[in-house]
């Protein structure tokens, strides 16, 4: 029988162990198909122990979402949002940082963006949507808006949300293919770094006005 968890450090370690096990199971089998008992079994602890940390599966799911999206947001905070800096270079840096996160933490990324989730109340989330320090999409939208105000984009493009979602979709597509199909040998996959860079450059060149520096 696993030893009883006593110290705050041990409790935090166990909580992370539970989240890691839940993430893996959710990715493998789908969220709806996984029970708290199965998560407990994967951690080698009893279901009672799991319920000491989470009220129910929805609580665990929400905690896991908040945890993983915070990690992504923290990784993206290295991108400066200074309006005096080159807006295109900022967008390029954001695309690189986003793809780096996806490819460094493929299991996190599968759970966050490639695993269907039940509808949950945003009121329960600890991540503040719209806050550029906690919400990765808000950061992307902020940078796109900043570039728009600098008249970086083609004159016929006025929808900031559409521009942001197009950039997101392009980089997500490259990363998702790498994560889900990189081992498929029927495709002559080119180096992932080259695929990410080409997608990023193609999208930005297609969205922006001609500029000698870019």
Q: Are residues 168 and 201 in the same domain?
A: yes
Q: Are residues 94 and 149 in the same domain?
A: yes
Are 39 and 125 within 8 A, CB to CB?
Answer: no
Q: Are residues 49 and 88 in the same domain?
A: no
Higher pLDDT, 164 or 84: 164
Q: Are residues 108 and 171 in the same domain?
A: yes
Q: What does the pLDDT read at residue 132?
A: 72
* Alpha-carbon span 176 to 98, nearest angstrom: 12
Query: What's 116's domain CATH number?
Result: 1.10.357.10
Q: Give the number of other CB atoms < 10 A from CB of residue 179.
A: 18
Residue range of the domain that includes 8: 1-54
Q: Are residues 100 and 127 in the same domain?
A: yes
Are 95 and 76 within 8 A, CB to CB?
Answer: no
pLDDT-derived band at 101, boundaries 50, 70, 90: very high
Domain count, the chain: 2
Q: What integer is the mean pLDDT of 152-179? A: 97
> Tens of pLDDT along 70-92?
889 888 887 766 666 788 999 99
Establish if 137 belongs to a structural domain.
yes
User: Token match 């979602």: residue?
Assistant: 165
Establish if 214 belongs to a structural domain.
no
pTM of the model: 0.83
> Tens of pLDDT along 23-54?
999 999 999 999 999 999 999 999 999 999 99
């Amino acid at each position: 029988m696993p030893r009883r968890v006593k110290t705050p450090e041990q409790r935090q370690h166990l909580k992370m162990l539970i989240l890691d096990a839940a993430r893996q199971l959710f990715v493998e089998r789908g969220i709806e198909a996984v029970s708290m008992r199965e998560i407990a079994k994967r951690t080698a602890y009893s279901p009672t122990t799991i319920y000491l940390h989470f009220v129910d599966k929805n609580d665990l799911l929400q905690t896991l979402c908040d945890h993983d999206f915070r990690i992504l947001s923290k990784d993206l905070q290295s991108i400066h949002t200074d309006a005096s800096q080159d807006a295109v270079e900022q967008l390029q840096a954001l695309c690189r940082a986003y793809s780096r996160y996806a490819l460094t933490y493929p299991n996190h990324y599968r759970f966050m963006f490639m695993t269907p989730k039940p509808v949950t109340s945003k009121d329960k989330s600890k991540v503040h949507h719209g806050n550029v320090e906690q919400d990765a999409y808000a950061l992307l939208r902020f940078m796109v808006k900043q570039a728009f105000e600098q008249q970086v984009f083609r004159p016929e493009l006025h929808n900031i949300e559409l521009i942001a979602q197009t950039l997101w979709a392009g980089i997500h597509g490259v990363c998702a293919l790498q994560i889900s199909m990189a081992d498929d040998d029927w495709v002559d996959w080119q180096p992932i770094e080259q695929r990410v860079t080409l997608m990023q450059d193609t999208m930005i060149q297609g969205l922006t006005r001609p500029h000698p520096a870019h």
